[in-house]
Amino acid sequence: MNRALAKTKQLIRATAIGVLFLLPLTSVSGQKNEHYNSPLYSPKKYDPTVTTANGLPDPLKKSGIEQKLGEQMPLDAEFKDENGDLVKLGSYFNNGRPVIIAFVYYECPMLCNQVLNGLTGSLKGINFDAGKEFDVVAISFDAKENDKPGLASNKKASYMERYGRPGTEKGWHFLTGSEESIRRATSAAGFSFEWDEKSGQFAHASAVMILTPEGKLSRYLYGIDYAPKDLKLGLMESAESKVGSPVDQLLLYCFHYDPSTGKYGLAILNFVRLGGVMTLLGLGAMGFVFWRRNKKTVKSEQ
């Protein structure tokens, strides 16, 4: 009984600490951020308070991810690989292995890196090896990166080091392409993005897709943190050409992010706050239930 009471107190204490941590986040509604001085983040053009009537910045209304399960990717679409060689997307679907696709852009200062970091971390948690049981294909949706030699190869080298499994280099592919090829691939996968002239950056959401060996979309994993067991199950099902069911969408957007302060603009920060509030409410409710249960136990034993 004493042990149960101690656990309940710890849970309540953790909830209280979480509430205190959240309070500063909910008190910044009147603040403005300083912005990173780069072509992607122009302080002269950027205004984080500009939103649409429903509270979302206009570019976010044109970006998102639609689940197109069972749809075929354009295997004849041409890209350049990390070595600068012209390849067809279908060249990664002729070995009988499922393929994980991540739509990112390599010079993204925040969310795209987190997508690749989260994917790599999850892949390290399963006993499948890239190039043996599956392949990873990262596709830049910024057509300007197609004319930047060394960008994709440097990105691959970085994630080969992070993945830390020698001999798996042939299972990782970092592609760039023309506007036409990019649009064909992203449209087929249901991945929408929008360039915003005012902020000088892309608005897009984060997810990875698992495809069957035939190039059909089998499963979507949203966000930047992918459970290894979900990833492994998705790969196993896709390897058998099974198409999964639609999943709930919890979208993280790469937009209005200020790398100099590590903060999102107010419109996007509201989504982050909402998730934090819901988590804390859940913890508080759990703590209350345990407290009531333990209180009844103590009374019954008296």
pLDDT single digits (tens) 105-160: 999 877 888 999 999 999 999 999 999 999 999 999 999 999 999 999 999 999 99
Whether residue 209 contacts residue 100, with contact meaning beta carbons closer than 8 Å, is answered with: yes
To the nearest 10 degrees (0 to 180), the angle between helices 111-124 and 228-239 is 80
Q: What is the pLDDT of residue 165?
A: 96
Is the pTM here over 0.75, yes or no? Answer: no
- Output phi, psi for 78, to 5 deg: -100, 140
pLDDT single digits (tens) 205-248: 889 999 999 999 999 998 888 999 999 999 999 999 999 777 55
The band of 68, judged by pLDDT with boundaries at 50, 70 and 90, is very high
Distances in Å between the Cα of 239 and the Cα atoms of 100, 215, 299 are 11, 11, 56
Share of the chain above pLDDT 70, in %: 64
CA nearest neighbour of 252 among 269, 230, 266: 269
What string of DSSP letters covers 60-121? HHT-EE---TTPBP-TT-EEE-TTS-EEEGGGGSSSS--EEEEEE-TT-SSHHHHHHHHHHH
Q: What is the pLDDT of residue 52?
A: 41
Q: What is the pLDDT of residue 30?
A: 32
